Amino acid sequence: MKQNCPNHDEFIPVLAKGLCAACYMRQRRRASASYVGKAGEHLRNRKAHPRAVAVVTPFGEFASASLAAERSPLTARTIQRYCQKQLNGYKYTQAQEEKENGS
């Protein structure tokens, strides 16, 4: 069925709610973009990741080893290993050290 979409001047096929396909999809994208609780969304933020452990490196303090690896020539796994053994100026932050020692 062809009708005049309220957002367009030409006659085009109309889908649900009296909107053309382009307007309908635009409305759906806006609705999904404003939706907050997407599955796994909280895991994409590496600074606030639940398992992220802050590290201190010679290059500065970072929220996780993977973020430190972006500014370092080392991989994230190597930085983790250096922090565990406290080698070459790499270590976990004070809070993580206390947690590991059980204090």
DSSP string covering 24-90 = HHHHHHHHHHT----TTHHHH-SSS-TT---EEETTEEESSHHHHHHTSSS-HHHHHHHHHHT-TT-
| 38 within a domain of the structure (yes/no) | no
| 60 within a domain of the structure (yes/no) | yes
* pLDDT tens digits along 52-99: 899 999 999 999 998 999 999 999 999 999 999 999 999 999 766 566
* pLDDT tens digits along 4-48: 556 665 545 555 556 666 776 676 666 655 555 566 666 677 777
pLDDT at 74: 93
Question: Do residue 60 and residue 29 come from a single domain?
Answer: no
Q: Domain of 82?
A: 43-101
- Model pTM? 0.55
